[in-house]
Amino acid sequence: MRTAVVIIGALLLPVALTVSAVVSTVLLTGHGGCPRPSRPYLPGARILAMSTVGRPGEMNARAPRLGRPVASGVPAFCDVTVVLTHPPLRDRVRIEVWLPRSTWNGRFQATGGGAFAAGEFQRALVPAVRRGYAAASTDAGEPGNAKSPPVWALRRDRTINEGLLANFAYRSVHEMSQIAKQVIAGFYGRPAAYSYFTGCSTGGRQGLIEAQRYPRDFDGILADAPAIAWNRLTPAQFWPQVVMNEAGVHPTACEFAAFNRAAIAACDGDDGRLDGIIGRPDTCRFDPGRLVGTSLRCHGRTIRISQADADIVRRIWDGPTTRAGERQWYGLPRGASFSWLAGTSKPLFGSRHGAPFPVAADWIRYFLLRQPHRDVSTIGYAEFERLFDESRARYSAVIGSDDPDLSAFRSAGGKMITWHGLADQAIFPQGTVDYRRRVESAMGGAEATDRFYRVFLAPGVRHCSGGAGPVPTDPLAALVDWVEHGRAPDTLPAATTGAHPNTSGALCRYPQQATADRPCH
């Protein structure tokens, strides 16, 4: 697993000084004073182009091709861009490796993406190089960002582009790691001592895929709020729209918020603490029917909660089921905002209608219906059940990302941490809990699993960040300490962010939890 025997920690400063000396001897050999590493080799792929550009530090640093300052505190770095293809696919995969010139900490950090974007480049790479990591990101041959629809999914004849799907599903991060490691070794004159992967959402799914398919790529993986079982999760994210479509009722955000406030009031104290947070959404049994007949003011109007409103909320919380009542996947946790998955909109003229989560709607349009312009507002229970079954059957092998057999990752010495907000409004945390339990079953129980894979649940925290609860402050540091010094974390330091009261705390290692009178137990 480890690519070198250099020990980082007490020797960090000498390593950085040595790297500075290595770089200074070759500053004049490349564009902008950067050395040009040798062209990497990747089996099954062909390198189309490679460039090296120097980027100054601090606020003068310019993001590649964007012409904007990247951020303060960024050290001078060299940006190595590699473009490759997989004949005969004719794709063009871009990989960027950012290399701090004189502040390298001896480590490599690969970064993940979000939604249908395999990588986030500047957003992910800036904090990595700021902390001294040589870092990399990739677009998997699918240019765009987390808000872009997956136009790459379909060929002109509207068949699925299996090659680009493979890039997105599992191949891109593995190949990025192979390319980046060669670039790093050529640039600094030595390989990275340790390699890490960090990602949330789609990035969390990519981290799991790495542990499952390529267990020797990374010493440590931080796979947060992972989009586990993508082929089931993504259609499940569309379930709230189906429920509203069938009912012919589309509640306002104000009405949905009233149900959440009532649920929090009812279940806040279940963990023994009154802090405005549902500590255990899975045990919250608040019945939305209790609000039927109550009135509330929304945008200057008085609205009365109906039985139809309550039934919609109940079905969204319960999650998708077949028409026979069999569970298909998990639902939105009580306390999580409805705004992403159960969004609605009111045009100037006409009635209120659904505003589906783009990732879920695009998965259905591009990968299941293969009709990019299809109006999905007509999808009801019968069609949803058929689409869900197709998604589960057709895409499990390529993007299921939920194989619980992590024996090869464990044997390679790998360590993995996952944290997940319990008020996640996009990816249901019960899916993470389900995966952890299945890993325990496959790997010899909870104690054996804890030796290499630990999960931390964050009450009140939204998708990847924010919310009323404490968010992990530096989970990567905990992972590094575990990998390099053998100190497995029992808690993750955390603090609230944004407009919420500034509080700090610690997230408990699953299945432990904190109560009013006892810490994690």
- Distance, in Å, from the CA atom of 319 to the CA atom of 198, rounded to the nearest integer, reads 29
- Distance, in Å, from the CA atom of 15 to the CA atom of 462, rounded to the nearest integer, reads 38
- Distance, in Å, from the CA atom of 403 to the CA atom of 422, rounded to the nearest integer, reads 23
What's at 491, amino acid-wise? Answer: T
**Quick check: helix, strand or coil at residue 506?**
strand
Active-site residue among 86, 250, 420, 463?
Answer: 463
Can 31 be counted among the known catalytic residues?
no
**Ordered strands of the 107-111 beta sheet:** 46-55, 77-85, 93-100, 134-138, 107-111, 194-200, 220-224, 415-421, 453-458
- Distance, in Å, from the CA atom of 217 to the CA atom of 409, rounded to the nearest integer, reads 9
Active-site residue among 137, 201, 391, 401?
Answer: 201
Which tokens belong to 109?
Answer: 């950090």
Can 504 be counted among the known catalytic residues?
no
Which tokens belong to 300?
Answer: 């200057």
| Beta-bridge mates of residue 199 | 223
Largest CA distance in the chain: 77
Which tokens belong to 454?
Answer: 């630990």
> At 421, which helix (H) or strand (E)?
strand 415-421
- Distance, in Å, from the CA atom of 180 to the CA atom of 434, rounded to the nearest integer, reads 33
- Distance, in Å, from the CA atom of 456 to the CA atom of 351, rounded to the nearest integer, reads 43
Torsion of CA 440, 445, 447, 450, to 10 degrees: -20
Residues 6+ apart with CB under 8 A from 375: none
Q: How far from chain centre, in Å, is Cα 319?
A: 21
Q: In sequence order, what DSSP letters do the residues of 195-249 get, joined into one string?
A: EEEEEETHHHHHHHHHHHH-TTS-SEEEEES--TTHHHHHHHTTHHHHHHHHHT-
What's at 493, amino acid-wise? Answer: P
Q: How far from chain centre, in Å, is Cα 3?
A: 26
**Alpha helix stretches (DSSP H) within 40-171:** 122-130, 162-166
How would you class 89 by CB atoms within 10 Å of its CB: exposed for 0-12, middle for 13-18, buried for 19 or more? middle
Can 521 be counted among the known catalytic residues?
no
Of the candidates 118, 100, 110, 101, the one whose C-alpha atom is nearest the C-alpha of residue 181 is 110
How would you class 423 by CB atoms within 10 Å of its CB: exposed for 0-12, middle for 13-18, buried for 19 or more? buried
Active-site residue among 139, 217, 402, 424?
Answer: 424
Cβ atoms of 119 and 110 within 8 Å: the answer is no
> Omega into 40 within 30° of 0, i.e. cis?
no
Report the catalytic residues: 201, 424, 463
